[in-house]
């Protein structure tokens, strides 16, 4: 697949709505930095859980979920907000599931829940958006949720100088392997939010203590032609 168009880096650009889009078959995925127009985009209240809301049943911004399912006919644009977590979008001929993937959603059964809405063999594309890379995603202490993450996704963890490091990408691959998804169907954006100053990063904000300009980052999915 072709590369995602690079984000324009001219000064001041992030103050305005930025859209970078890519088509995946009949679907379109956009990334929007510091969105100014949100009314048309359906979002949920993300709580690091396993719930996936059907778009027609979602109360915008209020339904607690970390995934949104839209269908072919819905005419809805679904948006996932992230700042280090991974925006992941799973596409079939007739359905799209937009997910906010974090270490906690993975432990809370979010990806398992996907299979309640589609069959792996239906999947045409999987998009894995920018998220914090494993070298920037570490913890000094292994609390309960981290231990559960390590026990389930061992290959997605490593220890270094007393800290545990996590790879969301490798954890996701557990599912993609289990679902027997051909690697050609998976698009990895590859950018680390911590390293990309254009993208919001919760960790970077904690580490630097700087109140940054870029606060909001949405990944949206829509049927091509839906505006
Ligand atoms: Zn990184």
Residues bordering ligand 1, an ion, CB closer than 5 Å: 133, 136, 192, 194-195
Q: What is the pTM assigned to this prediction?
A: 0.90
Least confident of 181-185, 194-198, 214-218: 214-218
152 CA → ligand 1 middle, Å:
23
**Residue 103 corresponds to which tokens in the numbers above?**
């270490």
What is the span of the domain harbouring residue 96?
13-132+182-223
- Helix segments in 34-143, DSSP class H: 103-107, 110-114
Least confident of 37-41, 45-49, 198-202: 37-41
Question: Residue 94 domain-assigned?
Answer: yes
Question: Residue 100 domain-assigned?
Answer: yes
| Nearest of 217, 154, 215 to residue 189 by alpha carbon | 217
Average pLDDT over residues 136-149: 95
Average pLDDT over residues 200-219: 85
Question: Residue 168 domain-assigned?
Answer: no
- Report the percent of the chain where pLDDT is more than 90: 79
Number of domains forming the structure of the chain: 1
pLDDT band at 19 (very low <50, low <70, confident <90, very high): low
Question: Residue 150 domain-assigned?
Answer: no
203 CA → ligand 1 middle, Å:
10
186 CA → ligand 1 middle, Å:
20
Residues whose CB falls within 8 Å of the CB of residue 68, separated by 6 or more in sequence, listed in order: 42, 43, 44, 52, 53, 54, 55, 58, 78, 79, 80, 97, 98
CATH classification of the domain holding 104: 3.60.140.10
Task: Provide the pLDDT for residue 213.
Answer: 62
Average pLDDT over residues 18-30: 88
Question: How confident is the model over 53-92, as pLDDT tens digits?
Answer: 999 999 999 999 999 999 998 899 999 999 999 999 999 9
**Residue 208 corresponds to which tokens in the numbers above?**
């630097």
165 CA → ligand 1 middle, Å:
11
Least confident of 33-37, 145-149, 179-183, 188-192: 33-37
Question: Residue 122 domain-assigned?
Answer: yes
């Amino acid at each position: 697949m072709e590369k995602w168009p690079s984000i324009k880096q001219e000064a001041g650009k992030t103050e305005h709505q930025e859209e970078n889009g890519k088509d995946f078959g009949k679907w379109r995925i956009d990334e929007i930095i510091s969105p100014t127009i949100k009314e048309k985009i359906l979002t949920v209240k993300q709580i690091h859980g396993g719930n996936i809301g059907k778009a027609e049943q979602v109360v915008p911004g209020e339904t607690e979920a970390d995934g949104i399912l839209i269908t072919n006919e819905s005419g809805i644009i679904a948006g996932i907000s992230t700042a280090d977590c991974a925006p992941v979008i799973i596409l079939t001929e007739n359905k799209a599931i937009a997910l906010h993937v974090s270490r906690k959603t993975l432990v809370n059964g979010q990806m398992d829940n996907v299979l309640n809405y589609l069959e792996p063999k239906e999947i045409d594309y999987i998009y894995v958006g920018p998220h914090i890379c494993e070298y920037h995603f570490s913890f000094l202490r292994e609390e309960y949720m981290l231990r559960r993450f390590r026990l389930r996704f061992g290959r997605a963890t490593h220890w270094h100088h007393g800290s545990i490091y996590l790879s969301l990408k490798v954890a996701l691959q557990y599912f993609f392997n289990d679902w027997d998804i051909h690697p050609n169907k998976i698009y990895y954006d590859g950018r680390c939010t911590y390293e990309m100053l254009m993208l919001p990063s919760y960790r970077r904000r904690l580490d630097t203590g700087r109140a940054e300009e870029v606060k909001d980052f949405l990944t949206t999915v829509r049927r091509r032609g839906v505006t």
